[in-house]
Structure 1
């Protein structure tokens, strides 16, 4: 009976996917093209909607077939089309912090030196390729990685500057890190208050119960203060078929080839 039920559900899913085939959106992970996307993310509290948080809130960006969302597609397209890390024969050492599943699978198949790390939390399970790792104390020598991905993680970490310093330390000169966060360009200054511990109060202050800050326009300054040379890149129009957020810029954080340049 279970086999028949599973077969029935599989047929229904295939029919549903067939119904929604279209040319409006295309997923770079699974290759499925559709006429719509599914909702992803949580609805913002009324108190923070005025801040217009980019990279947060509920929006129709989830692939019908594989479940990928706009934030991981953005990183993947940049790595594939701009950084060309999937080109054969290109040696790349990459660290992925708090890895997204579809992006991880693509990188695992890329033939690069790929390391995944996340701070293990009780009650959660992690793929076997993910190592228990604290971004505040990365277990690597200086100048280890060509690329470090840290996608919507820093807003969860009280000591975000220390995390930035660790990422900078382990990044090779000439390398880059993609350090995406929810950000409001209506705010001149980042909002953070570590005395707020109540989940509801965090939600109405920062946009989510497990966030400890809401970054403003000074996020770039915070990155620069910790050594990075920051380039702001927006690829949403160029790759609109992948349903990227047109307002989400990439923070491409580079480490200069000659560290002594910082002390001119």
Structure 2
């Protein structure tokens, strides 16, 4: 007697698998769209409440130091140049983390995390200010929340399908890991660069040092700097900054030296 229900052949399996993958991709794209749309309407106060949960985790790694004081003074100078009305609702500050990691990142709650390793790599105040301005650009466009929201929603979806409640119970750890290893799209990085360039010009009246750190990153790919992995840098990115400088007719002035308290870590 012949088998009325023969097993599906490989072609059928591939078709089913392909349909399944397409559905997953469409769901992820829909989640991405909804997060991008929803982030726009999240009040700053909600973000700051999230920060009250996350920021203490980073504060445990930091210490009140001369370096942190200098960095906050520099950040205050940049913040004073922001025209956005929402600035009245924010209170930006730097957390200085005395570790060798070469990285800086935006943390919900108006905080920028800056590692000692990054400060040790910059050669001028202007170069450092461009980095801080770049991170303020991510705040302005709420990039840090978009990436965090997508990561959490995808994890919740996976946990729900897998029935693994431990993934959900470790949500705070997931948040901090996602923040520390934030990956932004090329367009998000370009926007943050443009924002930092604008603040640099407003602060000094010129933009010397705007591309310095990104040039360093392009030269140090082999060193696996964390900033390079989370903030993609390339010759194209530096080229685009130079084009913006030319288009906006920004001046190139003289470098400002780093505060001795940053140099003598």
Higher helix share: 2
> Smaller-chain TM-score range?
under 0.3
Name which one, 1 or 2, has greater alpha-carbon Rg. 2
Query: Normalising to structure 2: TM-score of the pair?
Result: 0.25
Structure of higher RCO (CA pairs closer than 8 Å, 6+ residues apart): 2
